[in-house]
Amino acid sequence: MKEVACYFLQYDVDILPVVDMNNSFIGYIGKNQLYKSIGEGINPDTPVQKLMISNLMSVAPEIELEEIYPLTNSIMPIIKDKKILGLITRKAIVSYSNLDIGNISGQTEEAFNAIYNGIIAIDREDKILIFNKAAEDLFNIDRSSVLNRPYHEVFPTGKLHQILENKKSASNHKFSHDHKTLLAMNSPIMVAGQVIGAVSSIQDISKLEHVSDELKYTKKLKAEVDAIIEASFDSIFVTDAKANVLS
């Protein structure tokens, strides 16, 4: 047990694999688990086998991350030819996913800037990673002033961060900003079955709303004219400039 404690201190790791005399993996021991046992007064000369966790499900080095995450174990050994190559944890997968979304935001910046709709993406910590040119124009905000800032801090009334909690795509969300009517569609970003962020596609529908209002007014006006005509006792003909009867 003393030797194991020295390994933890020397290599600054949280988990150590345990192997037999043939160098075959038989279990693992965690640093917190070891220190807790020492604090409870365990004999320092106790064999590590007494504390190790065994009977773990192992994975091959070729397996995809998406296949690993749904498995029940939070820690799994990576085994090849009965030899241990390392250990992988759920925490490591999530950390990698967060780095991955950051890489995506850098690699595809120009592509997002070419999109007509405003695009805003956040990571699982609610930090803004993507804010394209169209979003700058819609909100009149410079992207350099919002990147890496908390979404709820920049948009206190926004709903994108709610996707991180409910993990489902939201229906169309219409809202007003700076005398403009905007329509947003919010969706989660999924990796290995886990939500690692959320993205919002925002469109300015102000002109469409104006046309819609005009159509509603025209329909209402026509209905009023028809009602007046139908209520009249006199015979009334409505014609256009060419004397064609309209009503």
The full 3-state SS of 226-239, as one line of letters, equals HHHHHHCCCCCCCE
pTM as predicted:
0.49
Segment 102-121, tens digit of pLDDT: 555 555 666 777 788 899 99
Domains of the chain: 2-89 (3.10.580.10), 95-204 (3.30.450.20), 209-247 (no CATH)
User: pLDDT per residue over 182-204, tens digit each?
Assistant: 888 888 887 767 788 888 999 88
What would the pLDDT profile of 204-221 be if each residue is shown by its tens digit?
887 776 666 667 767 777
Strands (E), 124-223: 128-131, 173-177, 180-191, 194-204
For 226: left if phi > 0, alpha if psi spans -120 to 50, otherwise beta; the answer is: alpha
